[in-house]
Amino acid sequence: MKRYHLFVSGIVQGVGFRWYTERIALSCGITGWVKNLPDGRVEIVAEGEEENLKRFVDDLKKGYLGKNIREIEKIEEEYKGEFNSFTITF
């Protein structure tokens, strides 16, 4: 099990990107959360099997809003198992 802390930049606010992220996370079996940051980026904390996390990041890039992503900064952290599902936070 792994934990990714992601910071997504590009045109990712005001376009439904958090909903898009939640939908992909749930389809990949990922738990965690997504939220907008004041600087225009989107922050994601995601936990799950490493292969599922890789698929999650790939699907973010490939999906219909993937074209809006300029960069994904990925920080691998210690798995904590603190989430039951994937949610949008404010």
Catalytic positions, written as ranges: 18, 36
Check if the beta carbon of residue 60 is closer than 8 Å to that of residue 83. no
**Among 53, 61, 48, 50, CA closest to 8:** 61
Residue tagged 């292969």 (tokens): 51
**Among 37, 29, 32, CA closest to 13:** 37
**Among 31, 21, 28, CA closest to 84:** 31
